[in-house]
Amino acid sequence: MLKDRSILLGITGSVAAYKAIELIKGLRQEGASIKVIMTEASKRFITPLSIELASGNSVYNDMFDSPLSHVSLSADADLFVVAPATANIIGKYANGIADDLLSTALLAFKGTIIMAPAMNWRMYENPVFQKNLQYLVSLGIKTVGPERGSLACGEEGIGRMADIEKIMEAVRTAFSKQDLAGENILVTAGPTREYIDPIRYISNRSSGKMGYAIAKIAKRRGADVTLISGPVSIKPPEGIEVINIETAGEMHAAVMDNVSMSSIFIMAAAVADFMPSETKGSKIDKKERLSLNLVKTVDILEEAGRFKNKPFIVGFAAETGQRLDRARRKLVDKDIDMIVFNDVSKAGSGFDVDTNEVVIIDRKVDRRLPLMYKDDVAMVLFDRIKELKDNGR
Ligand code: CTP
């Protein structure tokens, strides 16, 4: 995604400066080329040699090494990232101060800027700093974090630099088309749990990875995203609303609360098809002979498909074996717009993996995709949804 992109990275004097190495490596791994400007203070926290080795380029630091470097570095870059960004650099930039190479290059830059603030919570909450930060935000500067947690000074509070993955995602977003801006996308993900007693439940092997990838890509392409999630062990993407549920009944209620506000509804969750007819209030003694009476859960997708003013609806059909006909029948029976078929018995296409091999079935055509990363499946899925929506559905 970042292939042939040229990123200028500013590193300032925060304890988090050492994390810049991981950021540089991650960005390069995705194909970007990185040039780095270090402030004097940042060199107290990490050596320019380490940064040079990670970036594969010499580090820029002195304004007078090459008198026009502040202009040429800025002119050559597609994106400017400052991570970590101290209160000092944010204050300087907000007030037009240009007294070293980084602050000068920032003023000379005309493209998108991402800043990842890092500082003590007292500095972060200081109204002078907040005024500077809000001013930059109002100008369209993107910020990531900071996060709450234990700080370098030993205190707890807000001020930790955002996780590197979050900064990476902000970079991907900056380079991504915003063609889903204005869409309100509701996504469900993960398994549900149907309780037998307070301790035991029936569930399935869904990891939630496909649904989370869909939510992340939708957000990256500019949509407002609400994710209704069953219990999973992955972190939700930044900047989306997450509703955590456990049972099919709770998922049903959450979908019904939100679906009418959505323009696209994607049901990627593996909802349990059956639940115990009753949930015991206390733990069932194992001395008892247990036989379970199961009843069907509400078919959420089918119910949404019956709505009058319904959004564009996408279902998933996880099958064992190439049962495309079954998937196609679900599309018609549930009266939805698209169904994503995948054969979970195929290698690389099952549960808890980062890849999937799917067929996207809509009212017009079947599109068989090769084995792909789930992020890429989500990309193609939205391309097709966009295409269909732009053409009247
Ligand atoms: N689904 C749903 N509510 C349920 C069960 C499933 O909304 N109670 C949705 C799933 O999220 C998925 C789609 O229906 O998007 C297809 O799920 P699947 O279990 O494959 O199909 P079913 O319609 O339940 O049919 P069957 O179990 O017979 O294959």
Ligand 1 pocket, residue 317 CB under 6 Å: yes
pLDDT tier for residue 223 given thresholds of 50, 70 and 90? very high
pLDDT class for 306, splitting at 50, 70, 90? very high
Which amino acid type is present at position 254? A
300 within ligand 1 shell (Cβ under 6 A): yes
Q: Is the model's pLDDT at 319 over the cut of 90?
A: no
Please tell me the predicted confidence (pLDDT) of residue 238.
87
Residue closest by Cα to atom 3 of ligand 1: 299
Question: Mean pLDDT over residues 97-119, rounded?
Answer: 97
Residue of the nearest CA to atom 27 in ligand 1? 273
Residue 349 has pLDDT above 90, yes or no: no
Mutate to test the pocket of ligand 1, among 205, 214, 247, 271 (most ligand atoms within 8 A of CB): 271
- Judge if the upstream peptide bond of residue 146 is cis by omega within 30 degrees of 0: yes
Q: Which pLDDT score is estimated for 202? A: 96
Answer whether residue 151 shows pLDDT above 90: no
Residue 344 reports pLDDT greater than 90: no
pLDDT digits (tens, 9 = 90+) for 154-191: 888 999 999 999 999 999 999 999 999 999 999 999 99
Any ligand 1 atom below 6 A from CB of 225: no
pLDDT of residue 69: 80
Nearest CA to ligand 1 atom 23: 330
The reported pLDDT for the residue numbered 371 is: 95
233 CA to middle of ligand 1, Å? 22
Q: Which of 214, 297, 301 to mutate to test the pocket of ligand 1 (most atoms within 8 A of CB)?
A: 301
Q: What is the Cα–Cα distance from 125 to 158, expressed in whole angstroms?
A: 8
- Reported confidence tier of residue 345, pLDDT bands at 50, 70, 90: confident
Q: What is the pLDDT of residues 35-80, one digit of tens each?
A: 999 999 999 999 999 999 999 999 999 888 877 787 889 989 999 9
Give residue 298 CA to ligand 1 midpoint distance, Å: 10
**Given the CA of residue 318, which atom of ligand 1 is nearest to it?**
20
For tokens 């204005």, the residue is 182
Residues 235-252, mean pLDDT to the nearest whole number:
96
User: What are the structural domains, with CATH classification, of the chain?
Assistant: 6-174 (3.40.50.1950), 184-390 (3.40.50.10300)
Determine whether the shortest distance from the Cβ of 161 to ligand 1 is under 6 A: no
CA distance 360 to 377: 10
**The pLDDT of residue 361:** 97
Output the CA angle 390-391-393, nearest 5 degrees.
90
The residue ranking higher by pLDDT, 324 or 128, is 128
Q: What is the pLDDT of residue 122?
A: 94
Active site positions, annotated: 153
Spacing, Cα 269 to ligand 1 middle (Å) = 9
CB 80 within 8 A of CB 109: yes
Q: Is the CB of 269 under 6 A from ligand 1?
A: yes
Q: Which two tokens stand for residue 115?
A: 């800043």
Question: The whole model's pTM is what?
Answer: 0.91
Return mean pLDDT, the chain. 95
- Split at pLDDT 50, 70, 90, the class of 343 is confident
pLDDT above 80 for 200: yes
| CB of residue 338 inside a 6 A radius of ligand 1 | no
Instruction: Judge if the upstream peptide bond of residue 370 is cis by omega within 30 degrees of 0.
Output: no
CA of 360 to the centre of ligand 1 (A): 16
Report which residue type is found at 296. Answer: K
> Residue range 252-272: average pLDDT?
97
